[in-house]
Amino acid sequence: MIDKDSTQYKQFSKLWAGETPKGVNITKRDVFRSKMKNSCQQEGIEFSEINAYRIFSGEIKELGSDTQKVGDVKVTKPPRRHLRGI
């Protein structure tokens, strides 16, 4: 269940709507949604607000040893080319 009173959900909903202190910033909203869409595709799930929140909150996948968080998106780095089993 999603706790709509949690600070994490409030932060997510502001980013999802693109809210800023001066009003709504459409560019910020679109950039955040694009990052969440890419994350959903990396995880192999359908893009929706609920799935995006599950990724944002870290519910779907915890960070592994080869995964780092860049902004709001988790990025998995492949092994270096000379270390791969070609």
pLDDT in tens, 27-78: 999 999 999 999 888 888 888 998 888 888 877 765 555 556 666 565 666 5
Q: Are 26 and 38 in contact (CB under 8 A)?
A: no
Amino acid at 16: W
Count of C-beta atoms within a 10 Å radius of residue 12: 20
Residue 84 per-residue DSSP state: S
* C-alpha to C-alpha distance for 7 and 29, rounded to whole angstroms: 19
pTM for this prediction: 0.66
Separation of CA 48 from chain center: 12
Q: What is the mean pLDDT of residues 7-34?
A: 92
Give domain limits for the chain: 7-83
Q: Are 55 and 18 in contact (CB under 8 A)?
A: no
Label residue 13 by pLDDT band (50, 70, 90): very high
